[in-house]
Chain A
């Protein structure tokens, strides 16, 4: 894969559509074309059912478009095998969802090291050290060996962010990451995501219905009925 300094866009959507088959087909995403570059902090906003999460899943290769193409660093993903897409998700992407989705039987350290173990790039000691460092950086040093149900909602979501960063991916996808949190916890998680972009050079693409949070992000893409109706990056370019 080409390095982050390359001119090639990190993610590019070319006329991407996603239609759910059925007696009456449902259009989730309609003819979206846009690019996301390195070190951007992007908010995808829109009303409920506007296709925000669907577009995020297409970018994150969790779903496949029914038309168009998603390119990652210029590489078309439609012809990749499921195993190749899985490997890309493991090594290049981090995911944070509205619910933490931590594995309940494992400690938070084990949850964070899970993607590292799946990738197998580090030794056991290296994985544990990195997991510990990550959790410490999110203020969870004293909870390493607790299980998810022993933590608060905000703490669990921070563990989920730490897990998303386990393999040092260049891009983190967040689907309503503050949706299930109170305002204080929401602010904490938002600041964590903001730091990822500002201090660690990551790209964060976050779906949110919270317009005040979206307003604090670099770029806002607004969807209506699956189509992009505004993109602040395009406005700036104009």
Chain B
């Protein structure tokens, strides 16, 4: 065995209890860091997955980011024009079928048309503001998880069962007390009013959707908006949701319609995740920093106790670098042992945490969402090793700088 490693290992082995406490400190830090990272990542992944599966990856609406320039502005660029009224435009996406066909030629996913109508649902003397979305059941299967979210055996084709069939979220159902077959009134600000028959319920897991969204056929949506042939929204599902931002930008360039990716529509939420991650890594860092104090303590104690041995090793001709190396290696041994033990502890803590039954209105599952990632172990291990070496370096440097004569004189 290498001399430095041999001496370091012998020192560490000779102080089983002290070393054990230092290793336990690091292991606890690493274990709890892994558990915390796993829980935070798990809850974040769970939420993101649910979000991504529930909403469209990209939504193209009939709006534009900036109002189109007025014809007068285009023709008389040097003239200053006052009092122009914006050109009234007919709502909806122009030539929706041609637009869809053009996009389908290159889109890495599927696209579906819909009509979005802000409405009020009235039932049993209760008025609830909802968004009614007119959909094409055949295409909907390819662009959303709605078929899987339907409860009680309902299917999307049930929308064809009645004249004005409607699917409502289970949150809305609970709010107004509707049942299958109930006839509810849907009314819009344009004055359109229909009586719709409830043919099914869905549960997306996102409360705002479950309480405030209803699905009808496209033609029912068009009746509500009082515009035949209207398509005011196209929804897309991509094979890789992570490229939504880039695809949305290209669609917007090609069609000039406002195209919003799921990331853009949830920017605030994703920023919150970033802040949450910063908090998590700060706390994890603090845990490991506290653990490294134990390493500092043990290495300081060993160097203090071993002052005479250090002096004699230096007098025999061992260089400062070798002596320093001995104590840095000791810190590394503690860090590595603590890290490995911490991996086991972290894994067991995750299993234990995952087995606890939790009843929460915010979770569909009865168990806490946990993410098992080698990255958590790798990061915790690296930080544990790094902080152990940093904690061991100061006393090691001090020990290496010992003047052997001072110690030998003191001893004699």
- Interface residue ranges, A against B (CB under 8 Å): 53, 57, 60, 62-63, 82-83, 86-91, 93, 95, 97-99, 101, 103-106, 114-115, 117-119, 163, 175-176, 179
Contacts and interface: CB of A to CB of B under 8 A. Distances in A.
Given A83-B319, A118-B317, A118-B322, A63 B405 contact: yes
A21 B317 CA distance: 26
Nearest to A95: B315
B308 interface: yes
Contacts of B405: 57, 62-63
A155 B171 CA distance: 89
Interface string B389-412: 000000000000001110011011
B316 A115 contact: yes
B314 A86 contact: yes
Interface in B306-331: 308-309, 311-322
Contacts of B258: none
A114 B319 contact: no
Ranked nearest first, the 8 interchain pairs of A and B with the lowest CB-CB distance are A90-B317, A89-B317, A101-B312, A117-B3, A86-B319, A105-B10, A98-B412, A105-B14
- The dominant DSSP class at the B interface is helix
A62 B404 contact: yes
Contacts of A83: 319-321
B11 interface: yes
A97 B317 contact: no
Contact of B316 (A90, A98, A175): A90
Contacts of A99: 411-412
A196 B395 CA distance: 39
A90 B412 contact: no
A39 to B, nearest CB: 22
A217 to B, nearest CB: 21
Nearest to B309: A103
Contacts of A86: 314, 317-320
Nearest to B312: A101
Given A87-B319, A91-B317, A95-B315, 17 more contacts: A83-B320, A86-B317, A86-B319, A89-B317, A95-B316, A97-B312, A97-B412, A99-B412, A101-B411, A103-B7, A103-B312, A105-B13, A114-B316, A117-B6, A118-B3, A118-B316, A176-B412
B334 to A, nearest CB: 17
A110 to B, nearest CB: 8
Contacts of B320: 82-83, 86
Contact of A97 (B318, B403, B408): B408
A218 to B, nearest CB: 25
A99 B14 CA distance: 22
Given A62-B405, A101-B312, A118-B3, A90 B14 contact: no
Contact of B315 (A53, A88, A89, A117): A89
A105 B9 CA distance: 11
Nearest to A54: B405
Interface of B: 3, 6-7, 10-11, 13-14, 308-309, 311-322, 403-405, 408-409, 411-412
Contacts, number: 75
11 contacts: A53-B409, A60-B315, A83-B319, A101-B308, A101-B311, A101-B408, A104-B309, A105-B10, A114-B316, A118-B3, A175-B408
A119 B317 CA distance: 9
A82 B412 contact: no
A20 to B, nearest CB: 11
B309 A90 contact: no
Contacts of B11: 105
Contacts of A179: 412
A77 to B, nearest CB: 14
B8 to A, nearest CB: 11
A95 to B, nearest CB: 5
B81 to A, nearest CB: 83
B314 A106 contact: no
A115 B411 contact: no
B304 to A, nearest CB: 15
Contacts of B7: 103
B3 to A, nearest CB: 4
Contact of A115 (B10, B317, B404): B317
Contacts of A119: 317
Contacts of A60: 315
Contacts of B409: 53
Contacts of B315: 60, 62, 89, 95
Given A57-B405, A62-B404, A118-B3, A175 B319 contact: no
A143 B411 CA distance: 26
A103 B312 CA distance: 9
B312 A90 contact: no
Contact of A175 (B6, B311, B313, B412): B412
Nearest to A167: B317
A12 B20 CA distance: 51
B10 A89 contact: no
A82 B409 CA distance: 20
A105 B6 CA distance: 11
A195 B405 CA distance: 28
A234 to B, nearest CB: 27
Which of A103, A104, A179 has the most chain B CB within a 10 Å cutoff? Answer: A103
Contacts of B10: 105-106
Contacts of B14: 105
Contacts of A176: 412
A98 B315 CA distance: 14
Nearest to B321: A83
Given A105-B11, A106-B10, A118 B411 contact: no
A166 to B, nearest CB: 9
B356 to A, nearest CB: 46
Contact of B318 (A90, A101, A105): A90
